[in-house]
Amino acid sequence: MGKTAGSLPYLEYGLGEDRLGGAKMTYLDTAVVIKVVDSTIINYKIQLSKNHFAYLPKSNFFRDSTILSKPYYLTNSWLVNGNDSADFVSITLDEKLPYRSIQQINPSRIVVDIFGATSNTNWITQRSTAREIKNAYYEQTEDDVFRIIIELTHSQHWGYSIFYRDKKLIIKIKRQPEHLNLQRLKIAIDAGHGGENDGAKGATTGILEKNYTLLMAKELERELAMQKANVFMTRSKDTSLSMIERTELLKKENPDFLISIHLNSSVRDSIKGVSTYYRYIGFRALSQYILQSMVQLGLNEFGNVGNFNFSLNGPTDYPNCLVEVAFLSNKEDEQLILDPEFHKAVACQIIDGIKRWLDSCK
């Protein structure tokens, strides 16, 4: 027995992996109680409930011999309320138990499974101060899996975070911004790679991805500034930032949404075009609108890719979109990437996609 430790501990579904790592189930808060049942070289296999298992990096586990495994843990009653900026679901548990969340659309809902929990909830107090939460209830889907269902007022997911305060599980839900225009929103821009991480290289020129993602990100920053948007850049120069450092910066800044700029590459030099990426279905719409705008530049459509395991698509705190502008490995795309006028055109089309997405939310 032990607890989660370190920065941004996460669970993986299984032992498979690609160049971005294994398929992630969820991020967890620190000090969540974990039961280890087996081990690989780099991961612990953990038992979430009788029928559910996952894998946790060994670096995110702290062994604690004082913790005793119990046959069951109970839930208590809930409070659903809001303050000036967000809504909250609060539920007290016997212990800090592991969880996962799922976004659903049509209707728009957040589903949170608490593993190892058995219901002792006898009432759910819902207050009118909660404005984004339309309804909250639960199901005991298995003897030791407790499911929280949160129905949202708006169709667009605007983000949420899950954490513990003592042994109280808190689900903090962001509301749809009152004013859906660029002047009233905080937009985060991430220029991919940087510093010691060069990224991909140009097929004929050898140009580095890190330099051109920064040029395009700065052009997007300039265009948004002209429209009086509040912009946060994860980097504004050629500096090394890990994915954990970027994620922690973004969590601190709490943007309304994130755009991450990258350039693609393939072993097949004939592949070219633009693509956008998301992990969670509730955030897909932003990536769809941006892709639709980007193809108007005459770029091939490589596609809209979901369930993508890119680290900056991982946080549930805000809508986010990874834009792979074009392929450095393709000679035609490479020539476009070299052109400063193309950088400006990319920025304008991303903004066009953002505006059309915001209009769809009204």
215 within domain boundaries: yes
**Dihedral over alpha carbons 138, 142, 146, 151 (to 10 degrees):** -40
pLDDT at 57 over 90: yes
Other beta carbons less than 10 A from residue 315's beta carbon: 18
Burial class for 292, CB neighbours closer than 10 Å (0-12, 13-18, 19+): middle
Q: Mark whether 244 and 312 lie in a shared domain.
A: yes
Cβ proximity of 258 and 312 under 8 Å? yes
pLDDT at 292 over 90: yes
Residue 72 CB partners (closer than 8 Å, separation 6+) = 116, 118, 144
Burial class for 19, CB neighbours closer than 10 Å (0-12, 13-18, 19+): exposed
**Each residue's pLDDT tens digit, 171-182:** 999 999 999 999
pLDDT (average), residues 343-357: 98
55 within domain boundaries: yes
What CATH number does the domain containing 323 carry?
A: 3.40.630.40
Q: Mark whether 58 and 207 lie in a shared domain.
A: no
Q: Mark whether 244 and 271 lie in a shared domain.
A: yes
Q: Mark whether 159 and 28 lie in a shared domain.
A: no
Determine the residue type at 233. Answer: M
User: What are the backbone dihedrals phi and psi of residue 357, each rounded to the nearest 5 degrees, phi first?
Assistant: -65, -45
Q: Mark whether 205 and 331 lie in a shared domain.
A: yes
Buried b (16+ CB within 10 A) or exposed e, 130-146: bebbeebebeeeeebbb
Cβ proximity of 313 and 322 under 8 Å? yes
Q: Mark whether 354 and 209 lie in a shared domain.
A: yes
pLDDT at 301 over 80: yes
Which residues constitute the domain of residue 118? Answer: 73-174
Residue 205 CB partners (closer than 8 Å, separation 6+) = 334, 338
Predicted confidence band of residue 20 (pLDDT cuts 50, 70, 90): confident
Q: Mark whether 254 and 116 lie in a shared domain.
A: no
Nearest to 262 by CA among 319, 315, 208, 204: 208
Structure tokens, 4: 């989660």
At what angle are helices 284-294 and 340-361 packed, to 10 degrees? 140
Number of domains in the chain: 3
**Each residue's pLDDT tens digit, 254-280:** 999 999 999 999 999 999 999 999 999
Predicted confidence band of residue 333 (pLDDT cuts 50, 70, 90): very high
pLDDT at 19 over 90: no
Q: What is the pLDDT of residue 293?
A: 98
Cβ proximity of 111 and 66 under 8 Å? no
pLDDT (average), residues 140-168: 98
Q: What is the pLDDT of residue 5?
A: 97
pLDDT at 21 over 90: no
224 within domain boundaries: yes
Q: Mark whether 15 and 114 lie in a shared domain.
A: no
Query: Hey, is 323 helix, strand or coil?
Result: strand
